[in-house]
Chain A
Amino acid sequence: MNKKRLLLNHLLAVILVSGFFLASNPVNAAPSETKLITVMNPAVREILAPRVDLTPRLKSLEGKTIYLVDMNYEGIGGTPVMGEIQAWFEKNMPEVKTILKLKRGNYASDDPELWKEIADNKGDAVIMGVAG
C-alpha cells in the first residue's frame, strides 16, 4: 500500500467520524424554534366586584327635582357646563326643577352631607360631572 492511499484512507475515516458526530449534535437534531418549553404564568387573577343593581329609573321628569352637581374636577369654581344644562332645562323642560350644587373639596373628596341633603330634600335624580 503506498503512502498516498494510506493518507486517503485516514482522511476518509476522519470525515466519517466527523459526520457521525455532526449528525448526532443536538443543534441539528431539531430546530430550536419548534421545541416546546413550559414556563410559569405571571398573570394575577382580578376578582370582580359583587354586582350591585342600580336604582330603578324614573317614569317621567314631569314635576321632578334634579340636582346638578358640579364635582369640581376643573377646580375653578365649577365648570359652566352645569349652568348651561340648568338653562337648557329652564328653556326646554320648565316643568323640571333643577338645583345647582358645588360638591365640597376637590374632585376626589367625598361629600356625604350633600348626598344626604339631596335625599332629605327629596331630590328625584342627580346629574354629576364632569370627570376628566
Chain B
Amino acid sequence: MSRFNGTIEKQYNIPTVSLANENVVDFGINAHAKYTTGMPLRFVGMPYPFTGLSEERLKNYLKTGTDNVTGKPVMTAIIDALLTPLKKSETNPETPEEPRFLKPDTEDNLRRLFKDKSWTDYNPIILPTEDKVKEMLEGTSHEPDEIVKKEAGTFGTSRPFTVEKVAIIAVMAGAKPEYMPVLLTLASQVPYMDSTTSSSRMVLINGPIREEININSGIGALGPNAEANSIIGRSMVLFHKILQGYKEGESGFSSLSNPLLYNNLTIAENEENLPKGWKPFHVQKGFDPQDSTLTVFFGWNFVNCSGSVVEHYAPQLMMRDFTQVLAATGAATLIMDPSVADLLRDTQGFKTKEEFAKWLSDNAEIPAKQYWANSIVSGMQGPDGVKNYKNIKEGTMLKHMKNPAMINSIVVGGETASVWFITDFMSGMPVSIDEWR
C-alpha cells in the first residue's frame, strides 16, 4: 500500500492516509519508509484481525476505537492525517559503513554480541576469525570484494554484500570451503519471500555437486542426518537474517512462523534412482544433466502421506485427495521415495513426470466453497471469484490445479518405505551453481 500512496502523493500531489492493521503499521512507518519509499507516509493503525468483523462492530469501532499510532479517536486521526501541516522533513542521515572487523573482545562477549544482533539461529556458531574466513574463500575462484548482490533487503532494499560476507557467514554456520559455490548461489537468491502467514521455503540441489559435497538424497534425506544438508539449510537462515536483514517484528511479521524454516528443507534429488523416462528437476527446466543447480521453492504446507503406499488405493489417488489441503495457489510439489516413483511409472503407467503432473491437474478437485474460503486465493486473486461466495451451491466442485507446469515431482529417499509428502511449494527457476565455483 505504501508504494501506491507514495505514487499518489509524488506523482499527483494528492495527500493520502494509509489505513493498516496494527500488525504491520510499525513496518510502514519505520523500516519501509526508511529503506524503501523514503516517504514518511501517514498511517492510522486499525485493530487486527479486521477481516470478518460484523458491520455493527465496525461502526462501533469508528465511533469509539482509537488509532494505535497516535492514540486519537480513529476518525479524528484520519482527518488529522489529511489536515495537520507537515513537520519539517526529517533529515536523511547516511547509514555508517560497516567495519570489516569487530572490536576485539572475549569469546563469551562476542558470542553474546552475535546473538544480540540477531546474527545467529541461537545455536552455537563458529566465530569468524580472519584465518577461518580466508580458508573458506579458497572454496571459490571469485574475489572476496566482488559484489554478489545489491538489492538484497526485504522488498529489494539496497543492502549490497560481497563474497567475503558470504564466507564469513559460511564459517559461522560451520561450512566446509567446498560448499562455497552452493552457498554463494543460495546467497545470490536473497531476498527470500516472506509473509505474515506461516510460509516456508525449500532448497533443491541437482547435478554433480551433490556427489562432490555429499548432499544426502538417499536414506533419511529430510532429517538431520547429513552434514551438507544441515549446514547449507542453516546458512540460509543466517543469510536471511544477516544479508537480507530480516528481523521478526521489525522488517517481517510472521505471526506463528514455520518450523520448516530451521533448515529450509534442504535436499538433493536422487537422480541416480529416477525411474526410466523421469528427468531430474533441473533437466526438466532446460539445464544439462552435468550442470549443477540450486532451486528455491516457496510455500506453506508440508503434508505427510503417513503410512506407506497400499495395494488397494493407487498412490496418485491419495495424492489427488490430499491436494485439497494445500494453499490453493494451483502449485504442488511432491517429494517421493524412488519406490513410489517406480510404482507410478511401472504400475500406474506415468512414463514421465510431466504425464503424472497432467493427470493430477486434470483430476484434482476441491469444493468451491473451500477453495474461495482460502485467504491465499482471495488475497492473491482479488475479489472477482468470491464476490458471490454466498451463492455457491454446496457440493460444487472446481478444478484447482489448472496448470500442470506448476506441479513438480522430486524423487528423494532410500527405498526403505514407499512414502511421500505433498506440499504447495512453488518452484523458482533453477540457477547455476557452476558460475560460483
CB <8 Å contact, B107 and A48: no
CB contact under 8 A between A128 and B13, given known A46-B95, A49-B37, A54-B40: no
* A1-38 residues at the B interface, CB under 8 angstroms: 32-38
CB contact under 8 A between A84 and B62, given known A44-B152, A125-B15, A129-B1: yes
Q: What CA separation (Å) do A60 and B79 show in the bound complex?
A: 9
Q: Nearest residue in A to B52 (C-beta to C-beta)?
A: A74
CB contact under 8 A between A124 and B38, given known A45-B160, A51-B92, A75-B381: no
CB <8 Å contact, A57 and B15: yes
Q: What CA separation (Å) do A33 and B111 show in the bound complex?
A: 12
Q: Nearest residue in A to B153 (C-beta to C-beta)?
A: A46
CB contact under 8 A between A107 and B93, given known A42-B128, A45-B160: no
Q: Nearest residue in A to B24 (C-beta to C-beta)?
A: A131
A 90-132 binary contact with B (CB < 8 Å = 1; else 0):
0010000000001111111111100110110001111111111
How far apart are B25's CB and chain A's nearest CB, in angstroms?
8
Please, which residues of chain A bring their CB within 8 A of the CB of B119? Answer: 42-43
CB <8 Å contact, B37 and A37: no
A: number of interface residues (CB 8 Å): 73
CB <8 Å contact, A44 and B37: no
CB <8 Å contact, B157 and A39: no
How far apart are B216's CB and chain A's nearest CB, in angstroms?
27
Q: What CA separation (Å) do A127 and B380 show in the bound complex?
A: 22
Please, which residues of chain A bring their CB within 8 A of the CB of B9? Answer: 54-55
12 A-B interface contacts by CB (under 8 A): A34-B106, A41-B99, A46-B159, A48-B35, A48-B95, A54-B42, A58-B83, A61-B82, A115-B7, A119-B12, A129-B18, A131-B21
Which residues of chain B have a CB within 8 Å of any CB of chain A? 1, 3-21, 23-24, 28, 34-42, 44, 46, 48-51, 55, 58-59, 62, 75, 78-79, 81-86, 89-102, 104-108, 110, 117, 119, 127-130, 133, 152-153, 157-161, 164-165, 168-169, 172, 196, 238, 242-243, 245, 375, 377-383, 386-387, 389
